[in-house]
Amino acid sequence: MHIVQPGMEIDVLKENSKVAQQNFRNFKEHKVKSIDFMGSIGAGKTALIIKIAEKLRAKGVRVCAIAGDVTGVDDYSRFEKSGLKAFNCNTGHECHLDANLVRKSLNEIDLDDYDVVLIENVGNLVCPADFPLGTDYRVVVISTTEGDDMVRKHHDIFLHSDIAILNKMDIADAVGVDPEVIVQDYNRLTGGLKSIYKCSVRKDEGIDEIMSALKL
Ligand code: MG
Ligand code: ZN
């Protein structure tokens, strides 16, 4: 739900970027690395975060997650069930997290207890692009099951994120999607300046490459 009164949107975005800078400083003061995972519902954001967190914990890295959802505790519960300490962040109506919601979540989290905070944004490929949260990296996760036109349809989110992840490579054939079309669209859009990483969270393929891209 966006505010569309004339002039107001600019103020909202300006205020957001001010709070995002405060969040960024807060993370830095506590030497915490933070990542914002954006992407549609069903792209596999929750599963990817769980997988990355498992690998981090195996290396002795202290990690927690913020579960951003409009309502409910589904992702929060999945995180907790996997052994990943999580904090639930419901937006109420909004279809994206904003810096202020993250600031409020950070009030609940003792950042001295963590090295890495993984944030799952609300499932949506449109407006999260406009609302940086103050993280080190912004990542967009898509999956082969969404079709081969995601990059062509959603320029902004791919331009506003540092890397893209193409999940569910293991079923690309089954859903009749050619991943190379997506990769070519992405490279054309970003002028080859950014990278798209193919992976299968379910098969644990390509995750290590994503983690090194994110310096984890
Ligand atoms: Mg999810
Ligand atoms: Zn929104």
Determine the residue type at 174: A
* Cα–Cα distance list, 163 to 1, 18, 45, 104 (Å): 26, 23, 14, 26
**Average pLDDT rounded to a whole number, residues 46-61:** 98
**Average pLDDT rounded to a whole number, residues 64-80:** 96
Q: How many other CB atoms are there within 10 angstroms of residue 91's CB atom?
A: 17
Which ligand is the nearest neighbour of the Cα of 97?
2
Instruction: Please write the tens of the pLDDT for every residue from 82-107.
Output: 999 999 999 999 999 999 999 999 99
Determine the residue type at 57: R
- Given this model, what pLDDT does residue 2 score? 55
Tell me the CA–centroid distance for residue 124 and ligand 2, in Å.
8
- Given this model, what pLDDT does residue 182 score? 98
Tell me the CA–centroid distance for residue 122 and ligand 2, in Å.
8
Tell me the CA–centroid distance for residue 7 and ligand 1, in Å.
33
Residues 137 and 212: beta-carbon distance below 8 Å: no
Tell me the CA–centroid distance for residue 1 and ligand 2, in Å.
6
- Given this model, what pLDDT does residue 130 score? 94
Tell me the CA–centroid distance for residue 176 and ligand 2, in Å.
30
Tell me the CA–centroid distance for residue 126 and ligand 2, in Å.
7
CA atoms of 132 and 24, how far apart (whole Å): 10
CA atoms of 43 and 174, how far apart (whole Å): 16
CA atoms of 102 and 113, how far apart (whole Å): 17
Question: What are the residues whose beta carbon lies below 5 Å from ligand 2 (ion)?
Answer: 95-96, 127
Handedness of CA 186, 191, 194, 195 (dihedral sign): positive
Instruction: Please write the tens of the pLDDT for every residue from 176-194.
Output: 999 999 999 999 999 999 9
Tell me the CA–centroid distance for residue 8 and ligand 1, in Å.
30
Instruction: Please write the tens of the pLDDT for every residue from 142-171.
Output: 999 999 999 999 999 999 999 999 999 999
- Given this model, what pLDDT does residue 148 score? 96
Tell me the CA–centroid distance for residue 188 and ligand 2, in Å.
26
Sequence-distant (6+) residues with CB within 8 A of 148 are 177, 178, 179, 181, 182, 185
Which ligand is the nearest neighbour of the Cα of 66?
1
Which ligand is the nearest neighbour of the Cα of 121?
1
- Given this model, what pLDDT does residue 85 score? 98
Q: Model confidence at 5, in pLDDT bands (50, 70, 90)?
A: low
Average pLDDT, the chain: 95
163-167 and 137-143 strand pairing: parallel
Q: Which helix (H) or strand (E) holds 196?
A: strand 195-198
**Percent of the chain residues topping a pLDDT of 70:** 96
Determine the residue type at 161: S
Backbone φ, ψ for residue 140 (5° rounding)? -115, 130
Q: Model confidence at 200, in pLDDT bands (50, 70, 90)?
A: very high
Q: Is 120 helix (H, G, I), strand (E, B) or coil?
A: strand
